Amino acid sequence: KVCYISPSTITLQRAVIHWKEQSQHDLLCFVINPKFILKIQFNSFSRSSIYSPFPHRYVYLMGIQERNERLFYRVLMEDIEELMPIVYTPTVGLACTQYGHIFRRPKGLFISIRDRGHVRSILDNWPETNVAAVVVTDGERILGLGDLGVYGMGIPVGKLCLYTACAGIRPERCLPVAIDVGTDNETLLKDPLYMGLYQKRDRSQAYDDLIDEFMEAVVEKYGQDTLIQFEDFGNHNAFRFLRKYREKYCTFNDDIQGTASVALAGLLAAQRAIGKPITEHRVLFLGAGEAALGIANLIVMAMMETGMTQADARKRIWMYDKHGLLVKVCVCETDSNQEAFVHDSPGSVQSFLDAVNTIKPTAIIGVSGAGRLFTHDVLKSMGTLNERPIIFALSNPTTKAECTAEDAYTLTDGRCLFASGSPFGPVTLSDGRVITPGQGNNAYIFPGVALAVILSGVRHISDTVFLEAAKTLAEQLTDKELEEGRLYPPLSNIREVSVQMAVKVVEYVYAKGMAFRYPEPVDKNAFVRATVWDTNYDSFLPDTYDWPGVSFTPKTDSK
């Protein structure tokens, strides 16, 4: 048989993969060599608009997902370092701002406050019945971009893409959800293509009732051990829901706990480079919201593991927000979540630079989402105060980062240990040295933790799980990578990083009695790796095999 195949068809994608097996059955031959067809396919991809300016890159890549999910993940996994910034930060933030304008096909569920009493019915509309992980947002605080309402759907979609690409969680077991209770974004309320309710954000009891109903419906339909990840809720609601649900459901908040874990991993890696234990560091935060508080609390846990008291650990952490330094004489009202880090005033502090010069931190961590507030003077001061200053500009997207990698390195003579939330390229210094900035991306944490939680049947996720994840991530950084200036393993290796993290977390939750899936696997490494999904197609053909020693020649009488 001769089969003519267009490179643009899905038939091609399956045929290329199975060409050898099919040829054994059907004597199939190709007018074009299958390897050459595959090369055409990927060359076409590389020439496509994926590398053109936004929004075409995002639209094109997500279009591949809509047409052929396995091909999408194959491409994403093979070039994760190049394509993750499109699927995830920083490009996904820009995509969210225009989500209604670039929308093509639904990828998740939209549940509005008008649907109260019918949430279970909406979940029943989702075609997949074996969901293991849900990522949900109400769109109030999308990255550093503010209230984007249901346009925030791009965040759960992007997060769950990384569940699969980074940790091998089957895509059909993932469910993105956007909760629509309105938006306070006037631009969206005037946008004719906005996909949500044209109303101000509902902050009444009805909002809480809707979230309660949603949580109950998910567990009722998919089971008690269904993982529910909260994403980009407003600060007040993020902490409130975490406290409310963490002992009742299998849930975590990535902005609080995932960010904390990846930031702590960076500090633990920096500790290796400097040779100074974490208990000797003083940390000053720019920003005092959910990310800052999550990181601060996990740092305190890490310090307490070494024997330091909680009170002494908290004294080594300071916070500076839009009202100034968090101190007891501050006239501004502090959130109850911030009270543990409100200290006696160290003196007159009128600016963040004053705070740096007064407190003399060994590390500054930016999570304000307010842009370039690590000024040249701040960076120079950190370089003067410390031989190896730690500078983390973690706000997303790139435009909201507190400083650039180039500024951090050049203004500290290449001595700083730098990490950012969104990617920056390598920096060449005046002496010719090339330093690769670390990217403190939550994607190093949440896929691996999610895989471990799903496989072990954890029903309540403790903060100690994220402490264990941070230590595991820091341990995977090699000495050579540390010498290059990295504080995290290369993104190109994130699949293996996530799998190893899942193994460590599975070992931890079984050892601590948190797991509910029994019998307990003896070989945790083999157990995890055996469940990791890949992009290879299951063969749709019968097995092919030989009959050794069997003759198909009829016997004849010997003379």
pLDDT surpassing 70 at residue 296: yes
Peptide bond into 192 cis (omega under 30): no
Domain 58-233 identical in fold to domain 274-443: yes
Q: Residue 131: pLDDT band by 50, 70, 90 thresholds?
A: very high
Residue with the bigger pLDDT between 507 and 29: it is 507
pLDDT surpassing 80 at residue 190: yes
pLDDT surpassing 90 at residue 438: no
Residue with the bigger pLDDT between 333 and 531: it is 531
Q: Specify the residue for token string 């846990």.
A: 301
pLDDT for residue 29: 36
Please report how the helices 34-47 and 10-26 are oriented relative to each other, as an axis angle in degrees rounded to 10.
170
Question: In the annotation, is 471 catalytic?
Answer: no
Residue with the bigger pLDDT between 30 and 127: it is 127
pLDDT for residue 544: 81
Whether 520 and 463 have beta carbons less than 8 Å apart is answered as: no
Q: Residue 137 forms beta bridges with which residues?
A: 178
Average pLDDT over residues 37-41: 41
Report the chain's mean pLDDT, rounded to a whole number: 88
pLDDT for residue 554: 82
Average pLDDT over residues 447-456: 98
Token code pair at residue 59: 């639209």
d(CA 487, CA 476): 10
Catalytic residue among 58, 73, 107, 159: 159
- Residue 479 annotated as part of some ligand binding site: no
Q: Residue 328: pLDDT band by 50, 70, 90 thresholds?
A: confident
25 alpha carbon, distance to own chain's centre: 44
Average pLDDT over residues 263-286: 95
d(CA 354, CA 279): 24
Question: In the annotation, is 555 catalytic?
Answer: no
DSSP classification of residue 176: E
d(CA 302, CA 295): 11
543 CB-near residues (< 8 Å, 6+ apart) = none
Whether 429 and 414 have beta carbons less than 8 Å apart is answered as: yes
pLDDT for residue 187: 96
pLDDT surpassing 50 at residue 420: yes
pLDDT for residue 547: 85
pLDDT digits (tens, 9 = 90+) for 173-184: 999 999 999 999
d(CA 82, CA 249): 36
d(CA 323, CA 363): 21
- Residue 396 annotated as part of some ligand binding site: yes
Q: Which CATH class is domain 274-443?
A: alpha beta
pLDDT for residue 16: 42
pLDDT surpassing 80 at residue 51: no
Maximum average pLDDT range among 363-372, 446-455, 477-486: 446-455
Lowest mean pLDDT among 3-17, 215-229, 340-354: 3-17
Predicted structure pTM score = 0.86
pLDDT surpassing 80 at residue 332: no
pLDDT for residue 246: 96
d(CA 499, CA 532): 8
Residue 533 backbone dihedrals phi, psi, to 5 degrees:
-75, 140
Catalytic residue among 58, 88, 151, 488: 88
- Span 58-233: which CATH code? 3.40.50.10380
- Residue 255 annotated as part of some ligand binding site: yes
- Residue 386 annotated as part of some ligand binding site: no
In one-letter notation, the amino acid at residue 446 is: F
Establish how many alpha carbons lie within 13 A of residue 477's alpha carbon, considering only the half-sphere containing its beta carbon: 27
Q: Residue 558: pLDDT band by 50, 70, 90 thresholds?
A: low
- Residue 232 annotated as part of some ligand binding site: yes
pLDDT for residue 559: 53
56 CB-near residues (< 8 Å, 6+ apart) = 49, 50
Average pLDDT over residues 473-498: 93
Domain segments of the chain as ranges: 1-47+535-559, 58-233, 274-443, 445-459+466-531
Helix (H) or strand (E) holding 3: strand 2-3
